[in-house]
Amino acid sequence: WGQPYGCPAGQSGYYGRGPIQLSWNFNYKAAGDALGIDLLNNPWLVQNDASVAWKTALWYWNTQTGPGSMTGHNAMVDQAGFGQTIRSINGSLECDGRNPAQVQSRVTTYQRFTQILGTSPGGNLYC
């Protein structure tokens, strides 16, 4: 509610949707502005249109640091590690001891996928 544009879809309208679980009115506003889509007034597009869902995920991954200091993309390509992607996406809720079980679940899943792909998970897996 503290943003000048408020919550036109209702305060509960900005829950996590899409591959990166876009949340909060300020993220819907910024993503919509970047993509030329009015997501502030129609956040349901992220759940109802797969193209919009993936566009918002790629927008966040490549441009937003969230509570971290780098984007998820930069964390991986600059070899800062998977843990920094967690911090960028959901760090304020999970990192620094806030939800160690969720962090462990993310790391375990990431390790499983890297094993399936035959690649190394690298270092710095935890935030």
CA distance 60 to 81: 17
Domain that holds residue 103: 72-117
Query: How large is the average pLDDT for residues 94-103?
Result: 97
pLDDT per residue over 35-78, tens digit each? 999 999 999 999 999 999 999 999 999 999 999 999 999 999 99
Task: Tell me whether residue 122 is in a domain.
Answer: no
What are φ and ψ of residue 62, in 5° steps? -95, -20
β-sheet bridge partners, residue 22:
17
47 φ/ψ angles, rounded to the nearest 5 degrees: -90, -25
Residue ending a domain, choose from 42, 63, 84: 63
pTM: 0.92
Q: What percent of the chain lies above the pLDDT cut of 70?
A: 99
Give me the number of domains the chain comprises.
2
Which CATH number goes with the domain that contains 58?
3.30.20.10
Q: Does a structural domain hold residue 4?
A: no
Helices 50-63 & 25-35 angle (0-180, nearest 10): 100
In the listed set 63, 80, 100, which residue is the last one of a domain according to the structure?
Answer: 63
What ranges in the chain are assigned the alpha helix state H? 25-35, 45-48, 50-63, 72-77, 82-94, 100-117
